[in-house]
A and B are shown apart, each in its own frame.
Chain A
Amino acid sequence: MLTAKHYFISLFVGLLLVGSGCASQPPTLYQQLGGNVGISLITDDFLVNLSQDKRIVHHFAQTDIEIFRQRLIEHLCVVSDGGCEYQGASMFDAHIGLHISQADFDAVVGHLINALTQQNVPIAARNALLAKLAPMYQDITYH
Chain B
Amino acid sequence: MFRNIFIISLFIVAGISLSAHADTSKVIATGGATTIEGTAGGGIVPWAVINGYASSDQWSVTAMNTQVSVDDFTLHAVGASLSIDNRFELSLAKQTFDLDTMGGKLGQDIIGVKYKLAGELLYSTLPQISLGMQYKRVDDFGIPQAVGARSDWGLDVYLAASKVYFDAIAGRNLVTNLTLRATKANQTGLLGFGTETNNDYHLQAEASIALLLTDNVAVGYEYKQKPDQLGFAKEDDWQDIFAAWFINKHVSLVGAYVDLGSIAGFEQQKGWYLSIEGTL
Contacts and interface: CB of A to CB of B under 8 A. Distances in A.
A17 to B, nearest CB: 24
B76 interface: no
Interface residues of B, number: 23
A134 B168 CA distance: 14
A113 B58 contact: no
Given A102-B56, A103-B58, A127 B172 contact: yes
A23 B25 CA distance: 41
Given A102-B55, A137-B123, A125 B171 contact: yes
Given A113-B215, A123-B214, A138-B124, A103 B25 contact: yes
Given A102-B55, A109-B27, A110-B25, A134 B171 contact: no
B74 to A, nearest CB: 38
B166 interface: yes
Given A109-B27, A135-B123, A137-B123, A103 B214 contact: no
Contacts of A134: 122-123, 166
Contacts of B18: none
A128 interface: yes
A28 to B, nearest CB: 14
A106 B167 contact: no
A130 interface: yes
Contact of B171 (A103, A107, A127, A135): A127
Given A110-B27, A137-B120, A101 B57 contact: yes
Nearest to A55: B23
A106 B170 contact: no
B177 interface: no
A131 B167 CA distance: 7
A106 B166 contact: no
Contacts of A22: none
Contacts of A107: 25, 55
Contact of A113 (B27, B56, B123, B171): B27
A50 to B, nearest CB: 13
Given A123-B215, A127-B172, A131-B167, 16 more contacts: A102-B86, A102-B120, A103-B25, A103-B56, A103-B58, A113-B215, A122-B171, A123-B172, A124-B170, A124-B171, A127-B167, A131-B166, A134-B166, A135-B124, A135-B125, A137-B123
27 contacts: A102-B56, A102-B86, A103-B55, A103-B58, A105-B123, A106-B25, A106-B26, A106-B27, A107-B25, A109-B27, A110-B28, A113-B27, A117-B215, A123-B215, A124-B172, A125-B171, A127-B166, A127-B167, A127-B171, A127-B172, A128-B166, A128-B171, A130-B167, A131-B166, A135-B123, A135-B124, A137-B122
